Structure 1
Amino acid sequence: MLSGLMNFLRACFRPRSDWRGHSGSDSGRQDGLLWYKDTGQHFNGDFSMAVVQANNLLEDQSQIESGSLSTHDSGPYGTFVGIYDGHGGPETSRYINEHLFQHLKRFTSEQQFMSVEVIKKAFQATEEGFLSIVTKKWPMNPQIAAVGSCCLVGVICNGTLYISNLGDSRAVLGRLVKSTGEVLAIQLSAEHNVAIESVRQEMKSLHPDDSKIVVLKHNVWRVKGLIQISRSIGDVYLKKPEFNREPLFAKFRLREPFQKPILSAEPSITVHQLQPHDQFLIFASDGLWEHLSNQEAVDIVQNHPHSGSARRLVKVALQEAAKKREMRYSDLKKIDRGVRRHFHDDITVIVVFLDSNLVSRASSVRSINLSVKGGGVTFPSSTLAPRTTPA
C-alpha cells in the first residue's frame, strides 16, 4: 500500500511536458523541468535561452529585453540581459525580474543616454525597493529578511557592452582569434564569492575589527559562517541590524550586533567596446559554471549552430552532474524538483550572439521591443510542494 501511495504522489508531482513557463511577451517551450527558447532576434543579433529547475520553487529568474532602453520611443535602443540567481527563496529574484529593467529605463530617460551611473542607480533603486517590501512583510513573514539574490546584467548600447554584477553568476565573451581561427573565452564579470581569496581579503579589509567576518565552515568559506557571496540584492538580515533578531530563525541571527552592513549591494561594473571579432556572450548562473569551465562553454557554443545553444549548454552541464553521481543522464531527468536539488542547482543560460553590422549601428535606430522572461515549470497551486526554509 505504501509503495502504491508513493507512486501516486510521484505522478502528482511530475511536471507535464506540455505546461508552459511564464515568458513575457514571447513564449518558450517546456520539456519536463527544462524551459527553453532556442532562438530569437534582439537589437544586436540573435539569442538562445534555457532554464532548468532543481528547487521546489524556481529561484533563478532571467530576462532579455531588446528595443528601447528608456521610457521614450526615441531610445536609446539596445539589448538588456539579466540573470538573477536567488537563494533562500524566489522572492528577491522575482522582484528584480519585475523592477530592475524598469528602473534602468527611467534613469536612462532622465540622463538621455546609457552610462555606468544609470546602471548603478537602477541597482540601488531595486535594492531600496526590495527593502521596502521586507519592511512591509516582516511582521507577518520575518524570514523574508533572509532571502536574497545574485544579479548579473549586461547592457549593449551604441557598440558598448556594460557588465554589472553582484554575486557569483558569470558573463563570458567568445572572441575570435583571426590568426588561428580559435575562439577564446574571456570572463567579463567580477565575482563576489568568498571562496575566492581576493574576495576574502576584501571582506577582511572592509571589516578590520571582525576576526570572524569570513569563516571556514564544513570546508566552505562563508561570510559570518552563513553565506558564500559578499554582495547581493536582499539578504537584509546581513545589512540592517534591526532585521537580525527574533522572530528570524535562530540559524540566521548573529550573536554579536553589527554597526554597518556586512553584505553590499554595490555592483562591479566593467565597460567593453565591442569589436568585430567579439562573437557571442554567455550569461549564466553559477549552476552552469559548477560543471563547465569558461572555455568548455565557449567551445560548445562555437562548434554548433546558434539555435539551441543555451539548451545545449544546460544539457552538457546536466550530463556532467549525472556523471559525478555515477548515474545516467536519462535517469537524472526523471528526478523531480526539490529532490533534483541534491544533484544540481537551478541553471539559467542566455547566449547572446553579436552581429557586428548590427552592433555598430547607432543606438538611435528604431527597433521593435522584445521581452522574454525565462520560465520555470508552472504547477497548479494544489500540487506545489511545501516550501523549504531559507538555506
Structure 2
Amino acid sequence: MGCCVSTSSRSTCSTRSHGGAVSPSCFEVGFCGQKRTKRTFSDHVIALQHLPSVPNRIFTNGKSRTSCIFTQQGRKGINQDAMIVWEDFMSEDVTFCGVFDGHGPHGHLVARKVRDALPLKLLSSMHSYQSRQNGSGRTCFKGNSKKSDGGDSEKDGSAEDRLNSIWREAFMKSYKAMDKELRSHPNLDCFCSGSTAVTIVKQGSNLFMGYIGDSRAIMGSKDSNDSMVAIQLTVDLKPDLPREAERIKRCKGRVFALQDEPEVPRVWLPFDDAPGLAMARAFGDFCLKEYGVISIPEFSHRILTERDQFIVLASDGVWDVLSNEEVVEIVSSAPTRSSAARILVDSAAREWKLKYPTSKMDDCAVVCLFLDGKMDSESDYEEQGFSSATLHSNHSGNAVESDDGQKSEPSLQRNFTVRSSEESDSYGRLLPEFEGNADTVAAEDQNWLGLEGVTRVNSLVQLPRFSEERPNP
C-alpha cells in the first residue's frame, strides 16, 4: 500500500464537492494510500539540495499565484528577516507561509536555516503519521471539512478534531526537531543567536498556525456591514506576558526592562545582565534555554469563512510602528494585490522615520496571502516593477537572494553598524551553507555589538561573557 506526499489534490476518498458527507476517517492531508502520480516524499528529501528551484516555492521579493512577499533591510546591519510561501505544499489546496526574524550575531543564518528546514520537517512529520496509519489500514484525509446538516454533524466534528490534533502534533514535533538541529549544527553558533517564527498552513478552509517569538499574523475580514476589520491570529510571545514571565522566573531567568526603554521587557541570565532577549520563545538562544526561553510553539486552528479576505504575516519591524487596523487598511487599499507587501513595508519605513527618528529602523518582512486564491494579471504585476519570483534589488540596497541561491550585487551602500559584508555568504543550498565559516564566526562573536544609540528595537542588548566558573544564582 503506497504512502506518498502528493501534489495532487485528487484522492480515492469520497468528497463533499457535491454536498455529500465525508467519511470521518477521510480528511486529506495531501498524501494517501494511492498510486504515486506526481511528487513523493522521497522527492522532497532529494530536493533538500535544490530548494531554490522547487516549484511554487518563493522566498525572495515577488509573488506567487495567491500571495506576495517583500522584505527590506533596516539600519542595523545585514537583513536578518526571512520569509517563504510554498504553494502545493502537500496537495494543490495546501499552502505553507512563514516569516522568521533572526537576532544576534548569526541571526540571519538562523532565520534562513529555519525558513528552509522547518517546512521539510512538517512534511516529514506528516509522512511519519501516515506511515503509522498504514499499519491499521489505509487512511486518507480531506482538509476542507465543513459542518454538514443532519446526523453526520457529530462525526464531522470528530473528524475536524482529529485533523486539528494531527496538525498540532506535526507542528510540535517539527519545532522541537528544528531547535534540536540548530543546537547540534556543527558550523552554526546559536548560543546567543536565534529566530522567531510565525508559520501557517492553509488547507482548504482550515487554517493551522504555529508560532514563537514576536512576529505576528493577522487577518483582514469583512464584518456584517461589509467593512474591513482586523483579526489578530497570533499572540506576541514577549517576556512580560504573565505565563511567560512565570515560566522564566521559575527557571531562574530574570525579566525586566532597561531604564531607557521601559516599554521593552527582556530576558536576562541569573548571573549576568545579558543577553537581554526581547522575546520569551525563540529558536536558538541556547544561552537562555535553561532559564525559561523555549521553542515550543503556540498552536491554533481556525475555520475560514467567505468573509475572510487575506492574511498578513510580518516581523516586528512592521508591528512596532503600525497597528493591526492600519496594516489591514494598507493591504486592502493597495492598487494591486501584487504590490500590497511592498507598499506595507514602505509604509512601515515611513512610520519609523516619523515615530522613532533617533532609532535604527528594524528589518521588515511581509507575507500577504489572499484567501480567494486570486492575484492580479501579469501585466498589472509588471507595472509594479516586480519579476514573477524575485526582485533583483530592493529598497535597502541589500544583496538579495535569487532563486538559484546566488546573491545579486547591492545597488546602494548599506549600513555596516553591526556586521561586515563578509558575513553575507550564499545560503541558496541547504547542505553546504556554513562550510568554511568557522573562523569568521568566532571573530564576529567577539566583535558583535547589539547596543548602539537608541536601541528599543534590538532583540539582544549584549552578549554574555562567561568565566570558567559561573557564580551561583
TM exceeding 0.5: yes
1:319 lines up with 2:350 in the alignment: yes
2:279 counterpart residue number: 229
Distance (whole Å) between structure 1 residues aligned to residue 190 and residue 125 of structure 2:
28
Aligned residues: 297
1:36 lines up with 2:28 in the alignment: no
Q: 1:384 to 1:190 in 2, by over 3 A?
A: same
Distance (whole Å) between structure 1 residues aligned to residue 249 and residue 330 of structure 2:
42
2:364 counterpart residue number: 347
Contact 1:162 1:271 in 2 (8 A): yes
1:51 lines up with 2:75 in the alignment: no
Q: 1:372 to 1:104 in 2, by over 3 A?
A: farther
Distance (whole Å) between structure 1 residues aligned to residue 68 and residue 345 of structure 2:
11
1:273 counterpart residue number: 303
Q: 1:173 aligns with which of 219, 243, 263?
A: 219
1:121 counterpart residue number: 173
Contact 2:315 2:365 in 1 (8 A): yes
CA deviation after TM superposition for structure 1 residue 145, in Å:
1.0
2:421 counterpart residue number: 384
2:96 counterpart residue number: 80
Higher Rg of the two aligned structures: 2
2:23 counterpart residue number: none
CA deviation after TM superposition for structure 1 residue 95, in Å:
1.4
String of CA shifts for 1:335-380, please: whole Å, max 9, x gaps: xxxxxxx5311100000000179xxxxxxxxxxxxx9799952466
Q: 2:129 aligns with which of 111, 136, 149?
A: 111
1:187 lines up with 2:232 in the alignment: yes
Q: 1:181 to 1:158 in 2, by over 3 A?
A: closer
CA deviation after TM superposition for structure 1 residue 109, in Å:
1.6
Instruction: Give unmatched runs, 5+ long, in structure 1.
Output: 1-21, 30-34, 70-74, 240-259, 328-341, 358-370
String of CA shifts for 1:169-228, please: whole Å, max 9, x gaps: 000011111x3221110100122112xx4x145322553474x62123232321125111
Contact 2:215 2:314 in 1 (8 A): yes
1:368 counterpart residue number: none
Secondary structure of the structure 1 residue equivalent to 2:88 = strand
Distance (whole Å) between structure 1 residues aligned to residue 258 and residue 127 of structure 2:
46
1:238 lines up with 2:288 in the alignment: yes
Task: State the one-letter code of the partner of 2:231.
Answer: I
Distance (whole Å) between structure 2 residues aligned to residue 51 and residue 63 of structure 1:
11
Contact 2:248 2:291 in 1 (8 A): no
Task: State the one-letter code of the partner of 1:62.
Answer: M
TM-score calculated relative to the size of structure 1: 0.68
String of CA shifts for 1:130-158, please: whole Å, max 9, x gaps: 0111xx34xxx8x6411100011011113
CA deviation after TM superposition for structure 1 residue 307, in Å:
2.0
Contact 2:56 2:64 in 1 (8 A): no
Distance (whole Å) between structure 1 residues aligned to residue 72 and residue 205 of structure 2:
31
Secondary structure of the structure 2 residue equivalent to 1:291 = coil
CA deviation after TM superposition for structure 1 residue 299, in Å:
0.7
Which of 308-317 and 54-63 deviates more? 54-63
Q: 1:163 to 1:40 in 2, by over 3 A?
A: same
Structure with greater contact order relative to length (CA < 8 Å, sep ≥ 6)? 1
String of CA shifts for 1:104-128, please: whole Å, max 9, x gaps: 1111122246611111111111111
Distance (whole Å) between structure 2 residues aligned to residue 59 and residue 99 of structure 1:
16
Distance (whole Å) between structure 1 residues aligned to residue 57 and residue 350 of structure 2:
22
Distance (whole Å) between structure 2 residues aligned to residue 216 and residue 323 of structure 1:
24
Secondary structure of the structure 1 residue equivalent to 2:64 = strand
Distance (whole Å) between structure 1 residues aligned to residue 72 and residue 57 of structure 2:
13
Secondary structure of the structure 2 residue equivalent to 1:181 = coil
Distance (whole Å) between structure 1 residues aligned to residue 251 and residue 119 of structure 2:
38
Task: State the one-letter code of the partner of 1:36.
Answer: N
Q: 1:36 to 1:98 in 2, by over 3 A?
A: closer
Task: State the one-letter code of the partner of 1:163.
Answer: M
Secondary structure of the structure 2 residue equivalent to 1:308 = helix
Q: 1:147 to 1:274 in 2, by over 3 A?
A: same
2:118 counterpart residue number: 100
Q: Residues 179-218 of structure 1 correspond to what in structure 2 (within 5 A)?
A: 179-194=224-239, 197=240, 199-205=241-247, 207-208=249-250, 210=252, 213-218=254-259
Contact 1:322 1:343 in 2 (8 A): no
Q: Residues 289-304 of structure 1 correspond to what in structure 2 (within 5 A)?
A: 289-304=319-334
- Identity across matched positions, percent: 25
Contact 2:212 2:281 in 1 (8 A): yes
Q: 1:65 aligns with which of 62, 73, 86?
A: 86
Instruction: Give unmatched runs, 5+ long, in structure 2.
Output: 1-50, 131-140, 142-165, 375-387, 393-397, 400-406, 411-419, 424-443, 451-473
1:287 counterpart residue number: 317
Task: State the one-letter code of the partner of 1:384.
Answer: S
